[in-house]
Structure 1
Amino acid sequence: MRILITGAAGFIGFHLIKALLQTTSSDKNYSIIGIDNLNDYYDVKLKKDRLDILNDIKSDNSFSFIELDLADRELMADLFDEYRFDIVINLGAQAGVRYSIENPNAYIDSNIVGFANVLEGCRHTKVKHLIYASSSSVYGMNVKQPFSTDDCVDFPISLYAATKKSNELMAHSYSHLYNIPTTGLRFFTVYGPYGRPDMAYFSFTKKILAGEPINVFNNGDMQRDFTYIDDIIKGIIRVMDKVPSPQQSKMTTATAPYKIYNIGNNQPVTLRRFITAIEDACGKKAQENLLPMQAGDVPITYADIDELIEDTGFKPETSIEDGIKQFVDWYTAYYQDKK
């Protein structure tokens, strides 16, 4: 089975490829092409270290990496023509809610133009299943909890969220028009080893260990459905084999092989408990700067995952304390090696 994974050097892409390479068996013979543009949104060295690990564990031609930008229409078309993928997993995107306020063009290029190029490749080469990353950010300031995929998500409060909602709409149109099976995954605050340095848990750990103060927004009263990376990866792998069949939603007569799932821990954690977990794992107390809520932030994320459980039999189970300890153990080892 030939699989394209975009964002291969990214946090989730790296862990997914690693898991697939380590679980390949006679009945799961994967040939993986990974692409990434290796942009400098965060430390490129971290991205290259992830790729080095993948190259160390691959066997024969089980994994190949190509440096390529999703927004390059011609090269993307050539890629699909050459490899004729069975499954495409689109994890490549410009991430970050706050950065979308500073640099909106990066989000249009990667998340809109890039995703259109992925859809066109799937259309012209008859890909059997497209799985793509969406985000819990699409729920915006919704007051109903937990967030359900049946909820209205028409009021994004960041451009990042708007691009992810746009991806879902674009995917539905291609599913309806061209019968391409598509599955969107709304990830809820993913964390873990080899994570993104722009995420709060990463910077909190760095500053607590260095004895520097951390910025705590909204006085620490926010809640997040933190989801450990291994749980995210298990969910994606379960969904790979769950190809959606043509169906109607509750709000339209249009028929499309289209599905959306939440992947979250289903247990929102207060920012205060989150900080305590990092303090315990670091063995040090944090110094705190209490600040108001930032633009684009939401007070709570909470995933309804009933459909994910019903359709795949999978439920994330990693506690914030266990997951943060795994991250801090990796962080201290990784950056000790870099000294």
Structure 2
Amino acid sequence: MSKILITGGAGFIGTNLAEHMEAQGNEVLILDKRKSKFSPSIRADVTKKNWHSKVGKPEIIYHLAAIVGVDYVSTHPFETMNTEIMGINNVIKFAERTRPEKIIFSSTSAVYGTALPNQFLSEDIKTFPITSYATAKIMAEHYLKEMKKIHNIDFTVLRYFNAYGKYQDPKMVIARFMEAAKESKPIVVFNNGEQTRDFTYIDDVMKATELVAFTDKTNSQIINVGTGVATKIRDVALLVKKISGSQSKILFEKPPEPREHFEIQRRVCDKRRLKKLIGFECKTTLSQGLKKLMQEQ
């Protein structure tokens, strides 16, 4: 059993991670501005330092706290970057004093920008962030690398590819499609729906996130977490309709301002590093994941 701190533990990934790690017998403490489903938890802002004296000495820190959501990020770039940079700064300052075994940082596939046709995004390629969110994630990744050199604190960076599952923000694409289908309302797809994403079921995301914490093989590594399967957004809408039995119509609309300026055409991961380092693959298909998610609701 390990003592684990999860910043941003009231969010989508954080709530699932707290549930998962507690089920494995770990002692979990959540830090978040929002109320958490789990206890113990501390209501605090990661960008402030007043939480440092309240959390003891965790062995593992999962730093997930961030501003999320394309619409909010695109209209609040300064808040987005400030939360990311001040958050990672405070986590590192805390780690300098408490000396955890490792920090696992939640990054994003958005750091890559748009992939070329038939390209699988490797951790080693040049990043091309087009949002304040992705730019701030890259800055935080570099901060962790410097921390390792100066203070010898181990870290692992996880670049998640379109995770979906229970507790997801209702504004996210799969949650939005499922809610529309459930209520027999139109399923709204932005643009022509030819954009592709790598949808990764939350149970696979949790297993990968757990395993990287407890092996030296992942130290100082940046690792993609995805299936390596590209799915068109329009096909997601069709699959949601099919599995749910919904009669909803599918509508294609122009995305709202300023979201349309940040639309990515293709994003799918090269998943080989994850398998090489920990022997695990994200194998749940989108169809399987959607069926599980619908059963849970």
Global fold match (TM > 0.5): yes
Match in the other structure for 1:13: 14
Query: Which of 182, 188, 196 lines up with 2:155 in the alignment?
Result: 182
Match in the other structure for 1:308: 274
- Residue 285 (structure 1) shift: 3.2
* Matches of 2:60 and 2:151, distance apart in 1: 16
Match in the other structure for 1:268: 230
- Residue 330 (structure 1) shift: 2.7
Counterpart of 1:35, as a letter, is L
- Residue 171 (structure 1) shift: 0.9
Match in the other structure for 1:65: 41
* Matches of 2:220 and 2:279, distance apart in 1: 19
Equivalent pairs counted in the alignment come to 291
The DSSP-based 3-state class of the residue aligned with 1:122 is helix
Contact 2:114 2:267 in 1 (8 A): no
Q: Deviation per CA, 1:167-188, whole angstroms, max 9, x where unpaired?
A: 1111111111111111000000
Matched, 1:147 2:121: yes
Match in the other structure for 2:64: 91
Gaps of 5+ in 1: 25-29, 39-46, 56-63, 246-256, 332-339
Counterpart of 1:217, as a letter, is F
Counterpart of 2:110, as a letter, is S
- Residue 281 (structure 1) shift: 2.5
* Matches of 2:32 and 2:285, distance apart in 1: 31
* Matches of 2:222 and 2:156, distance apart in 1: 6
Match in the other structure for 1:27: none
Match in the other structure for 2:52: 77
Contact 2:7 2:31 in 1 (8 A): yes
Correspondences of 1:31-42 after superposition (within 5 Å): 31-38=27-34
The DSSP-based 3-state class of the residue aligned with 2:215 is coil
* Matches of 1:120 and 1:314, distance apart in 2: 32
Q: Deviation per CA, 1:54-82, whole angstroms, max 9, x where unpaired?
A: 45xxxxxxxx1111110112x13323xx5
Q: Equivalent pairs: percent with the same residue? A: 29
Counterpart of 1:318, as a letter, is T
Contact 2:224 2:269 in 1 (8 A): yes
Matched, 1:123 2:96: yes
Q: Deviation per CA, 1:24-76, whole angstroms, max 9, x where unpaired?
A: 2xxxxx221111111xxxxxxxx65xx1xx45xxxxxxxx1111110112x13
Q: TM-score, normalised by structure 2?
A: 0.92
Gaps of 5+ in 2: none
Contact 1:97 1:159 in 2 (8 A): no
The DSSP-based 3-state class of the residue aligned with 2:74 is helix
Counterpart of 1:3, as a letter, is I
* Matches of 1:244 and 1:127, distance apart in 2: 17
Contact 1:76 1:117 in 2 (8 A): no
